[in-house]
Amino acid sequence: MGKGRAFCAGGDVAATIRDINEGTWRLGAKFYWKQFTLNYTLATYRKPQVSILNGIVMGGGAGASIHGRFRVATENSVFAMPETALGLFPDVGASYFLSRLPGFFGEYLGLTGTRLDGAEMLVCGLATHFVPSERLSLLEEALCKLDSSDPTIISAVINEYSKQPYMKEKSAYHRLNVIDRCFSRRTVEEIISALEREALNKKDDWISKTIQSLKRASPTSLKISLRSIRQGRLQGVGQCLVREYRIACHVMQGKLSRDLFEGFRAILLDKDKNPKWEPSKLELVSDDMVDSYFSMMDDEGWEDLKLPARFNLPAYAIAKL
């Protein structure tokens, strides 16, 4: 459980950029190696983890919680994977957990960076329970008194303090049919075209905002993210993290694109919110360019992420979503 307005708002991008600029991108790679190893350990952990998400849950904060057995949302919860607006991509195993959400809701969240509240987290499966914040102290007390690691017993205790939240009328989850029609398309260009056709047939502010979100994001990030989530549908969490580590290293090295550094400048440093992406258009990002991010790095001393061996895991330890 976090303190203040966030459970965890994610990794310190500014510190990572500073390390890269002052030394080498390998400092960033070292951080990602440790972080992804932690994500894998949590995802395959035998003991039930209870994360109380009473606030912001973004980026690395999602990696520290969504892989756990129990995720308790409240009316203060705000979830997002906003990486494409920064020239990054949804990592920390997001290609695993986003790809396992209903329909193509995960592609929608990963590409647009849309924020969800606690009720939406519950209904789509990112949260397992919803507990009003006023009951959290009672829940914590009950969990501390519990002398059992049986997931069924723990779940029953959390259920005692849970309630069914109200889901707002304008929730994107009510538009799952449109999301599935559009975000099931093969390419980002086809997704945007499908959304634009929907906009012609129906006046809906949500559709126009979704199109704007996609057009503001880094074209390279969008294409990397879509492919990563699609591959995640067919892979285990370990394979997803190994792939994401490769992509993260290419992004930090900056040889293929400098969008991470430009996104940091525009969103977090100068805050002009007007990044100059390069390439600037989706059609200029070729399949070969995207392929490069998924390949092993040709850099002396670099190696693929090596995750700790996990043997004889019970089913609940590897299939928490």
- Hey, what's the torsion of the CAs at 225, 66, 75, 181, to 10 degrees? 40
For residues 221 and 262, give the distance between their C-alpha atoms in angstroms, rounded to a whole number: 12
Phi and psi at 279, nearest 5°, equal -60, 155
Q: Annotated catalytic sites, by residue? A: 11, 60, 83, 91
d(CA 4, CA 55): 8
| DSSP 8-state symbol, 272 | -
Q: Residue 172 and residue 209: Cα distance in Å, rounded?
A: 11
Residues sharing a CB contact under 8 Å with residue 142, sequence separation 6 or more, in sequence order: 157, 160, 161
Q: Write phi, then psi, for 308 (nearest 5 degrees).
A: -65, 145
What is the token pair recorded at 156?
């029953």
